Amino acid sequence: MVNIKTIHVLALLAITGASPFALADMYVPVDFPGAISTDANGINASGTIVGGYTDQAGVPHGFSFTNGVFATIDYPGSTSTAAIAVNARGDIAGFFLDTTGRWHGFVFANGQFFVQDNPLATTGTFTLGINASGTLVGEFKVGQAFGQLGFAWIQRHGDYAQLTPPDCRGETPAHPVQAFATAINSRNDVVGRLIDAAGQQCAWRLDKNGVYSILTFPGASLTNARGVNAVGEVVGVSRVNGVNHGFVLPPDDVIDFISIDFPGAASTRALGINSRGDIVGTYALAGPAGVGHGFVLTRDNVGDADDPGED
């Protein structure tokens, strides 16, 4: 069920002066051995990275990477598995596709899988975020195909509730917007992405007090929030002139986006952040479409959140 492989080479690349970060910061490629593509989706305070990879036969698998060791994560009998988030305890959230073509969320903890199926879903449930207390967030679909946005949910103590962010103008729509919730931190701040009735694509943040904020990268046709850490830093993806870039947004800020671009890459996505400010994501070089590589970015002079419950 879980196969262990050790990594043999992990090259370090120093950031050039063109980067928005200091010279001492480092990008580290993360590629599952033998895979044709790798996504690094989440990272916790201990440095465990989770993500997904596609093998030589074209089959998607989840993985964890801890202390230099890769472990494959496959839900038993599934045709596709993805690991998306990991909390401080090492519990992993993700989703899988069964043999009937239906998607299910899961948490993998203490060697066991726990499946999430939102009762409102008809075509799939996706578990995308987990915090230290075990609160989960994600997306459910009602007739949508994979890749089309459904609706955001949060699960506390086994009970599901739908999250209904405003539209990209910050107004309450007549009907719930299509959205997903991608991450939750130890303060119960939630972030995600939405497409509103006007077709605009923006990010959103829901704070612990129940207040929504809309996040839009200047000049971007798409803004997608994918991770939030204990102090409230948000990471995600912006699309400017058809090109994806990663970003980090400081705590309690909706304006001062900082771009993240893997050196020499044609596109970059920032997908997860831990309490130390380490960021994981994916990048692609110029060449065949769909071939991606994972990375972890360690930033200089970024303090720890000093929160033992942080993911």
Residue 178 lies in a domain: no
CA distance 79 to 100: 10
pLDDT reported for residue 290: 55
For 55, other C-beta atoms within 10 Å of its C-beta total 14
Query: In whole angstroms, what is the distance from residue 263 CA to residue 26 CA?
Result: 10
Q: Confirm whether 56 is domain-assigned.
A: yes
Whether residue 44 lies inside any domain: the answer is: yes
pLDDT of 144 reads 86
User: What residues make up the domain containing 297?
Assistant: 1-73+262-301
pLDDT for residue 25: 76
Task: Confirm whether 38 is domain-assigned.
Answer: yes
Residue 2 vs residue 177, higher pLDDT: 177
75 — alpha (psi -120 to 50), left (phi > 0) or beta?
A: beta
Q: What pLDDT score does 230 carry?
A: 93
104 in a structural domain: no
2 — pLDDT class (breaks 50, 70, 90): very low
pLDDT band at 177 (very low <50, low <70, confident <90, very high): confident
Structural domains in the chain (count) = 1
Report the pLDDT value the prediction gives residue 296, as an integer from 0 to 100: 97
pLDDT band at 148 (very low <50, low <70, confident <90, very high): confident
Q: Is residue 253 part of a domain?
A: no
User: For position 311, what pLDDT does the model report?
Assistant: 58
Quote the pTM value: 0.89
